[in-house]
């Protein structure tokens, strides 16, 4: 199974891309289409309204950073906090599966698991982080 070990950089790239695209899509909706309603919703949950701006831009910019593999660990950490609060304040009371009108927390749980893994595994060799650390092209030869 050693040949599968050589594909780990590709697996990290796929993880980053999946997480990043999801977060950019959600952040884009919040920032460019529903920023005020989102900020007011955050305030209605007993959280300071200004954190609604922080959450929206964390999703958008954090997702972009994750995709390109730049400041991956801090971005993943910020997304973990963002998603953890979303699970706690928005989805938890709907249960794991929820209903068609009130989504549960299964999807945000899967997404936060990707972010959590990236905190510990980092971006991998196919990333800007790796190149800036002096890793060259990002691909190692065995």
pLDDT recorded at residue 137: 54
Nearest to 73 by CA among 14, 135, 124: 124
Contact 82, 58 (CB under 8 A): yes
pLDDT grade, residue 141 (50/70/90)?
very low
pLDDT for residue 140 is more than 70: no
This prediction has a pTM of 0.90
Nearest to 110 by CA among 93, 129, 91: 91
> What is the residue-averaged pLDDT of the chain?
94
Nearest to 106 by CA among 114, 118, 98: 98
pLDDT for residue 138 is more than 50: no
pLDDT recorded at residue 134: 85
At residue 9's C-alpha, the angle toward residues 86 and 128, to 5°, is 75
pLDDT recorded at residue 127: 96
pLDDT tens per residue across span 42-69? 999 999 999 999 999 999 999 999 999 9
Q: Which uninterrupted H or E stretch holds 70?
A: none
């Amino acid at each position: 199974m050693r040949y599968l070990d050589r594909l780990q950089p590709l697996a990290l790239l796929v993880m980053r891309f999946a997480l990043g695209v999801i977060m950019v899509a959600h952040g884009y909706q919040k920032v460019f289409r529903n920023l005020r309603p989102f900020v007011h919703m955050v305030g209605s949950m007993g959280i300071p309204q200004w954190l609604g701006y922080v959450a929206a831009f964390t999703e958008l910019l954090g997702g972009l950073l994750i995709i390109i593999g730049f400041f991956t660990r801090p971005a993943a950490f910020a997304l973990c906090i963002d998603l953890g609060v979303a699970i706690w304040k928005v989805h938890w009371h709907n249960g794991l599966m929820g209903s068609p009108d009130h989504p549960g927390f299964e999807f945000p749980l899967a997404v936060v698991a990707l972010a959590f893994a990236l905190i510990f595994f980092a971006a991998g060799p196919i990333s800007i982080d790796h190149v800036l650390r002096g890793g060259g092209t990002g691909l190692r030869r065995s």
